[in-house]
């Protein structure tokens, strides 16, 4: 008796929920909604695939330069962020189950948890961008010379007066300082990233990919959080008390899992492709939660 | 009682057997008096918001029709300036930079705002649900959103035109676009990104609709070939457009931040942009032509009163074009510094993609063979399509051959080639489809005389515009140059004069189609006596398309069956006189 379910008050227990006007029945509606999200994810794969493809080309051409760039990134924040995102994948999955079971309270709890975890990721990511900026790891038009890099450059100039008054590339000087602080050693005790190993302009190329790919990922996270907040509001109004509407939580979770998957690709491509040590993780975290920025 | 489980059990799929038993009593057509008071999708809610916020796929289709028509006029004005300028060897009316902006405006508007959205947006939106017996698209709100996203993206193109235009050509190649051009590359890029998003959403919607919304009996083997073509188109939209989007993002980042992903100075590679650009933009020409090919199937079968020759071959060739079309992009870069052996592979694959197109052309001619052909306007357009598309396709093979391409690359030969496919092909298919389905969309017949005349004027104007360009291109006139040697003037003057004729041809439908809305005679449900499912409902259709969910008993082109019309009537859900014929096979699934 479809008419019964269509006119039942919102939140009536034990009802599947009304079928939208253009569908014949609930299975058709659910299958369409699910299928639509999978199709959308196909386009997303191609979207990030394009960027990853371009990245791969340059990584193959300039492996050393990309490793140098990667070595200057904050792996501490990236590690914590990875944990946060994976945890949020668990909570959104539990949310599907809660909605399927018709438990508004559990659904609410898991949606809020997912939102908090996602927001924490974004907060840390923002802190990381800020630290990158303070360290002067900004390529192109917006690059500037940090104080520390200027000090080191001036010292170098006293030793070798033939150097120009202003460094040729502010980015390069900043990068040297950042890598110096990383103190990465290889097995023989030599610096893992030596100055002659890389071409600064190509490291800038790495940073372009770093900013644009993580930026696109952040954009997807923001959109996902927006949908999550919307679903929390809907949960509060009893929209999801119709148990068949678990499919909307499920499609949301598909999207959310996809965004996680993208991060699971970005993490090795950007952060793990260069030499790192455990000390960097702790230092990165100390930096993130410490009082100051920079070193 | 509906069960409480969220997973309602799926009903077993019933496929009605093939059955040509005619309707015992044909359903009554509404009389003119009844028709005047009948509620249909056009008049059931005439408030402004009823139109602007509609989720009805038919109304959204009409909104697209208005939108793309406006941009077609804008693109046509731009090319009018270009052609007029080319009357004299030194440029008749435009400064050099204005000329660059005029041809760029023509290219960007015609491609992104007309050719890509026109058939998917208007005819696809309107007829895919009707042809598969659905009440609406799978995601009606998304459908409306994709229209507004498109309109929003189009605003960026308009803004960019108003504040000084763009001079990079529609291809936006770096380093010119990212470093040297001081025109509005960013706004145009944003426009491409946003309209691309709309294109993705439309494609997604159509695929989901075709998969999930087919009525009982509408098996994949009974789908109209227009739907197959739209399906293949949507696959390309879904897979290609995001790559263009991310390419544009990278180019924009490069322009904004001044660090070049495509800048050779720091190790970037401009060729990478071309690879990624053409990875979308070559399949994009199939986004433009495939829906047109779909329309031709419907029109040809109807006006030659024959079933399509080789249904499966035509259906799968659409999919074949969609797949192989993704593997040929490198033929745009034979002379751009691409590896020699890579070029050879691309040249081979380019030959390969001609095969499914040729399958279609052969099947169309075989369909015409022995048919009872009547030359109404849609048929004239359709035959024009076959002739012009064949010329365009075959000259494409010249360009796909590496040796010949060295001579012909970036000449007017290329211009003539793709206008034969895009205008001679797509534009004629669009006109064919618009004229074929106009009675269904509006309930009115247009003038037979004027429509045939317009078709002939367009055909003549078109052929005379672009045939000289093959010659002048072969003689070596490069594209995108405002100046040329004096001996080329005769060809350019011919071309320009014919372009004006063409322009008149394109203006004519605007008048007689508009006039038909007020003075045209009522079309009735099925003015062409066609057998597609969309003709079994009223014209214009009611808000939910069919009185009840229809059932399909046979393929879409059953013109060979005696009394074909009454079998169409049988599919309409309200008329169940032939109920005895409804015993279906049950296949649990």
pLDDT reported for residue B536: 84
For residue B427, CA distances in Å to B317, B420, B455, B548 come to 21, 10, 11, 35
Is B167 in the A-facing interface, judged by CB distances under 8 Å? Answer: no
Query: Mutation test of the interface with chain B: which of A13, A22, A61, A241, choosing the one with the most B Cβ atoms within 10 A?
Result: A22
- Element at A182 (helix H, strand E): helix A170-182
Phi–psi pair at B587, nearest 5 degrees = -120, 110
In angstroms, the separation between the Cα of residue B30 and the nearest Cα of chain A is: 25
Position B584 scores a pLDDT of: 37
Burial class (CB in 10 A: 0-12, 13-18, 19+), A229: middle
Asked if B367 and B383 touch (Cβ cutoff 8 Å), the reply is no
For residues B109 and B68, give the distance between their C-alpha atoms in angstroms, rounded to a whole number: 10
Contacts of A100 in chain B (CB under 8 A): 6
Going from N- to C-terminal start, the domains of chain B cover: 52-583
Contact A43 B241 (CB under 8 A): yes
Cβ count near A286 (within 10 Å): 10
Q: Given pLDDT bands bounded at 50, 70 and 90, which one contains residue A182?
A: confident
Compute the distance between CA of residue B128 and CA of residue B320 in angstroms, rounded to an integer: 20
pLDDT at B582: 38
Q: What is the pLDDT of residues A68-91, one digit of tens each?
A: 999 889 999 999 999 999 999 999
Query: A205 vs B268: CB contact, 8 Å cut-off?
Result: yes
CB spacing of B9 vs A27 below 8 angstroms: yes
CA-to-CA distance for A8 and B24, rounded, in angstroms? Answer: 42
Distance from CA of A218 to the nearest CA of B (A): 15
- Locate the chain B residue with the closest alpha carbon to A50: B243
Cα of B261 to nearest chain A Cα, Å: 6
Q: Inter-axis angle of helices B96-108 and B185-212, to 10 degrees?
A: 10
The tens digit of pLDDT for each residue in B286-309 reads: 999 999 999 999 999 999 989 999
Q: Helix crossing, B185-212 with B140-162: angle to 10°?
A: 160
Smallest Cα distance from A89 to chain B, Å? 23
Residue where the block lists tokens 């950007």: A270
CA atoms within 13 A on the CB side of A226: 6
The CA distance from B412 to B395, in Å, is: 12
| CB-based contacts of B24-33 (< 8 A; 24+ apart in sequence) | B24/B577, B24/B578, B25/B575, B25/B577, B26/B565, B26/B566, B26/B569, B26/B575, B27/B569, B27/B572, B27/B574, B27/B575, B29/B524, B29/B525, B30/B538, B32/B522
CA distance, residue B217 to nearest chain A CA (Å):
15
In order of A51, B136, B143, the CA distances from B146 in angstroms are: 24, 15, 5
Contact B258, A208 (CB under 8 A): no
Q: Measure the CA–CA gap between B264 and B479, rounded to whole angstroms.
A: 26
Q: B33 to chain A, minimum CA–CA distance in Å?
A: 30
Contact A46 B239 (CB under 8 A): yes
Determine contact, residues B363/B308, Cβ cutoff 8 Å: yes
* Out of A25, A50, A202, closest to residue B267 by CB: A202
Termini Cα distance of chain B: 23
pLDDT reported for residue B566: 58
pLDDT value at A2 more than 50? no
ipTM of the complex: 0.89
In sequence order, what are the residues at sequence separation of 6 or more whose Cβ sits closer than 8 angstroms to the Cβ of residue A158?
none
Interface touch B259/A204, C-beta < 8 Å: yes
List B residues 187-216 in contact with A (Cβ-Cβ < 8 A).
200, 204-205, 207-208, 211-213
* B14 DSSP β-pair partners: B586
Tokens encoding B274: 């071309």
Q: How far is B19 from chain A (nearest CA, A)?
A: 24
Beta bridge partners of B15: B585
Contacting residues of B for A61, CB less than 8 Å apart = 267
The predicted-structure confidence for A195-214, as pLDDT tens digits, reads as follows: 777 888 889 899 999 999 99
Contact A204 B266 (CB under 8 A): yes
Q: Which of the residues B129, B268, B548 would you substitute to probe the A interface, choosing the one with the greatest number of A C-beta atoms within 10 Å? A: B268
Q: Provide the residue-wise pLDDT of chain B in tens; the chain has 589 residues.
A: 344 456 655 666 677 777 776 655 556 677 888 888 888 999 988 899 999 999 999 999 999 999 999 999 999 999 999 999 999 999 999 999 999 999 999 999 999 999 999 999 999 999 999 999 999 999 999 999 999 999 999 999 999 999 988 999 999 998 888 888 888 899 999 999 999 999 999 999 999 999 999 998 899 999 999 999 999 999 999 999 999 999 999 999 888 888 778 888 888 899 999 999 999 999 999 999 999 999 999 999 999 989 999 999 999 999 999 999 999 999 999 999 898 999 999 999 999 999 999 999 999 999 999 888 999 999 999 999 999 999 999 999 999 999 999 999 999 999 999 999 999 999 999 999 999 999 999 999 999 999 999 999 999 999 999 999 999 999 999 999 999 999 999 999 999 999 999 999 999 999 999 999 999 998 888 888 888 889 888 889 989 898 888 888 888 898 877 655 556 666 655 443 333 333 333 333 3
Q: State which fold the B52-583 domain adopts.
A: Cytochrome C Oxidase; Chain A (1.20.210)
**Contacts of residue A176, Cβ cutoff 8 Å, sequence gap at least 6:** A149, A152, A195
State whether residue B518 sits within 8 Å of chain A by CB: no
Closest alpha carbon within chain B to A12: B4
Question: Percent of chain A, pLDDT > 90?
Answer: 52
Residue A24: band (very low, low, confident or very high) from pLDDT cuts 50, 70, 90: confident
Per CB-CB distance under 8 Å, the chain A contacts of B272 are 54, 57
Residue with tokens 């000084």: B164
Contacts of A65 in chain B (CB under 8 A): 267
Instruction: Collect all residues with Cβ–Cβ distance below 8 Å to B47 and sequence separation of at least 6.
Output: none
- Min Cα–Cα distance to chain B from A295, Å: 26
Residue of A nearest to B8 (CA): A27
A113 touches A256 (CB < 8 A): no
pLDDT of residue A20: 87
Sign of CA dihedral B414, B154, B246, B352: negative
B241-260 residues touching A, CB cutoff 8 A: 241-243, 245-247, 249-250, 253-254, 256-260
- Cβ atoms of residues B411 and B473 within 8 Å: yes
The pTM of the full predicted model, rounded to 2 decimals, is: 0.91
Classified as helix, coil or strand, B537 is: coil
Q: Are A135 and A292 in contact (CB under 8 A)?
A: no
Residue B544, Cβ neighbours under 10 Å: how many?
Answer: 17
**Residue of B13, B242, B258, B284 to mutate when probing chain A, most A C-beta within 10 A:** B242
Query: Given A15, A22, A201, which is nearest B135 (Cβ)?
Result: A22
Tell which of B5, B212, B231 to mutate to test the A interface (max A CBs under 10 Å). B212
CA angle (B154 as vertex; B150, B155 as ends), nearest 5:
120
Candidates A20, A43, A69, A213: best to mutate against B (most CBs of B within 10 A) is A43
Tell me how far apart the alpha carbons of residues A28 and B129 are, in angstroms, rounded to a whole number.
15
For the CA atoms of B218, B224, B226, B228, what is the dihedral angle to 10 degrees?
Answer: 60
Please determine, for residue A61, whether its predicted confidence score (pLDDT) is greater than 80. Answer: yes
- pLDDT recorded at residue B514: 95
> Is B65 touching A (CB cutoff 8 A)?
no
Q: In the Cβ-directed half-sphere of B204, how many Cα atoms lie within 13 Å?
A: 28
- Nearest-angstrom CA–CA distance, A256 and A221: 8
**How far does A47 lie from chain B, in Å, by closest CA?**
5
Helix (H) or strand (E) holding B16: strand B13-16
Q: Does B463 touch chain A (CB under 8 A)?
A: no
**Residue A76, token pair as written in the block:** 């501490």
**pLDDT for A1 beyond 60:** no
Residue A7, pLDDT score? 43
> Which pLDDT tens digit goes with each residue over B340-388?
999 999 999 999 999 999 999 999 999 999 888 999 999 999 999 999 9
Please, what is the average pLDDT of chain A? 87
The Cα of B459 is separated from the nearest Cα of chain A by a number of Å equal to 38
- A209-A215-A217-A218 Cα dihedral, nearest 10 degrees: 160
Closest CA to B459 of B509, B395, B385, B512: B385
Structure tokens at B516: 């038909």
- The three-class DSSP label of residue B542 is strand
B586 SS3 class: strand
Q: Is B12 on the interface with A (CB under 8 A)?
A: no
**Can the peptide bond before residue B288 be classed as cis, meaning omega within 30 degrees of 0?**
no
Cβ–Cβ gap A50/B549 under 8 Å: no
Give Dmax over CA atoms of chain B in angstroms.
Answer: 83
Mutate to test the interface with B, among A2, A45, A46 (most CBs of B within 10 A): A46
What pLDDT sits at residue A62?
A: 92
Residue B28: per-residue pLDDT: 66
The Cα B373–Cα B558 span in angstroms is: 16
CB half-sphere exposure, B289, CA atoms < 13 A: 30
Nearest chain A Cα to B237, which residue? A43
CATH 1.20.120.80 corresponds to the domain A35-289 = yes
Q: Which residue of A has its CA nearest to B138?
A: A32
Question: How many interchain CB pairs under 8 A, A with B?
Answer: 151
């Amino acid at each position: 008796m479809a008419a019964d379910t269509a006119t039942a008050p919102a939140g009536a227990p034990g009802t599947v929920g009304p079928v939208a006007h253009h569908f014949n029945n609930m299975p058709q509606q659910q299958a369409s909604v699910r299928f639509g999200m999978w199709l959308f994810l196909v386009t997303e794969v191609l979207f990030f695939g394009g960027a990853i493809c371009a990245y791969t080309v340059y990584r193959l051409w300039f492996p050393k330069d990309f490793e140098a760039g990667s070595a200057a990134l904050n792996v501490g924040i990236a590690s914590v962020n990875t944990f946060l995102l994976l945890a949020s994948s668990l909570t959104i999955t539990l949310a599907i189950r809660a909605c399927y079971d018709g438990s508004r309270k559990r659904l609410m709890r898991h949606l809020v948890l997912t939102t908090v975890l996602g927001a924490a990721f974004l907060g840390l990511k923002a802190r990381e961008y800020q630290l990158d900026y303070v360290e002067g790891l900004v390529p192109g038009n917006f690059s500037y010379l940090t104080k520390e890099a200027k000090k080191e450059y001036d010292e170098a100039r006293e030793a070798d007066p033939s150097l120009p008054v202003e460094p040729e590339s502010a980015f390069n000087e900043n990068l040297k300082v950042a890598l110096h602080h990383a103190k990465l050693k290889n097995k023989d005790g030599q610096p893992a990233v030596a100055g002659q190993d890389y071409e600064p302009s190509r490291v800038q190329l790495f940073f372009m990919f770093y900013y644009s790919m993580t930026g696109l990922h952040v954009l997807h996270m923001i959109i996902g959080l927006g949908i999550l907040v919307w679903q929390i509001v809907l949960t509060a109004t009893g929209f999801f008390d119709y148990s068949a509407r678990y499919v909307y939580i499920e499609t949301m979770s598909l999207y959310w899992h996809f965004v996680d998957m993208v991060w699971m690709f970005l993490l090795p491509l950007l952060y793990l492709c260069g030499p790192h040590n455990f000390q960097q993780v702790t230092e990165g975290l100390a930096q993130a939660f410490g009082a100051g920025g920079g070193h | 009682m509906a069960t409480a489980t969220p997973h309602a059990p799926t009903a077993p799929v019933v496929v009605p057997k093939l059955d040509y038993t005619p309707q015992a009593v044909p359903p009554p057509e509404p009389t003119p008096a009844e028709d005047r008071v009948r509620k249909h999708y056009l008049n059931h809610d005439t408030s402004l918001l009823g139109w602007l916020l509609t989720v009805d796929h038919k109304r959204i289709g009409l909104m697209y029709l208005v939108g793309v028509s406006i941009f077609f006029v804008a693109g046509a004005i731009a090319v009018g300036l270009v052609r007029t300028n080319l009357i004299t060897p030194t440029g008749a009316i435009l400064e050099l930079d204005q000329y660059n902006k005029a041809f760029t405006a023509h290219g960007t508007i015609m491609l992104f705002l007309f050719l890509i959205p026109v058939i998917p947006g208007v005819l696809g939106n309107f007829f895919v649900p009707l042809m598969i017996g659905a009440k609406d698209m799978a995601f009606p709100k998304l459908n409306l959103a994709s229209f507004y996203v498109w309109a929003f993206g189009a605003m960026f193109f308009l803004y960019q035109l108003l504040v000084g235009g763009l001079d990079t050509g529609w291809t936006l190649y770096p380093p010119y676009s990212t470093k040297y051009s001081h025109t509005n590359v960013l706004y145009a890029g944003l426009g491409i990104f946003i309209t691309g998003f709309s294109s993705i959403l439309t494609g997604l919607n159509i695929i989901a609709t075709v998969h999930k919304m087919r009525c009982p009996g509408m098996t994949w083997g009974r789908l109209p070939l227009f739907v197959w073509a739209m399906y293949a188109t949507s696959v390309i939209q879904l897979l290609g457009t995001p790559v263009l989007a991310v390419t544009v993002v990278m180019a924009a980042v490069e322009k904004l931040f001044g660090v070049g992903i495509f800048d050779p100075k720091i190790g970037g590679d401009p060729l990478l942009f071309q690879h990624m650009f053409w990875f979308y933009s070559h399949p994009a020409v199939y986004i433009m032509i495939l829906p047109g090919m779909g329309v031709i199937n419907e029109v040809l079968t109807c006006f030659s009163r024959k079933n399509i020759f080789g249904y499966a071959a035509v259906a799968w060739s659409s999919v074949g074009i969609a797949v192989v079309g993704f593997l040929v992009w490198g033929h745009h870069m034979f002379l751009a510094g691409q590896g020699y052996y890579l070029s050879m592979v691309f040249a081979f694959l380019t030959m390969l993609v001609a095969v499914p197109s040729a399958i279609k052309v052969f099947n169309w001619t075989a369909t015409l063979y022995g048919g009872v052909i009547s030359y109404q306007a849609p048929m004239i357009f359709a035959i024009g399509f076959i002739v012009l598309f064949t010329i365009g396709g075959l000259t494409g093979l010249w360009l796909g051959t590496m040796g010949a391409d060295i001579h012909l690359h970036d000449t007017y030969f290329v211009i003539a080639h793709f206008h034969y496919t895009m205008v001679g092909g797509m534009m004629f298919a669009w006109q064919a489809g618009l004229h074929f389905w106009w009675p269904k969309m509006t309930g009115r017949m247009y003038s037979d005389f004027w429509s045939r005349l317009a078709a002939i004027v367009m055909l003549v104007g078109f052929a005379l515009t672009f045939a000289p360009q093959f010659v002048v291109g072969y003689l070596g006139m490069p594209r995108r140059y405002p100046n040329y040697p004096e001996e080329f003037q005769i060809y350019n003057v011919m071309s320009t004069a014919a372009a004006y004729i063409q322009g008149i041809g394109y203006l004519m439908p605007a008048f007689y189609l508009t006039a038909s809305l007020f003075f045209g005679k009522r079309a009735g449900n099925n003015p062409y006596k066609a057998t597609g499912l969309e003709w079994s409902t009223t014209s214009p259709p009611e808000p939910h398309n069919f009185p009840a969910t229809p059932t399909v008993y046979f393929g879409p082109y059953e013109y060979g069956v005696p009394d074909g019309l009454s079998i169409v009537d049988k599919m309409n859900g309200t008329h169940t006189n032939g109920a005895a014929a409804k015993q279906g096979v049950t296949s649990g699934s």
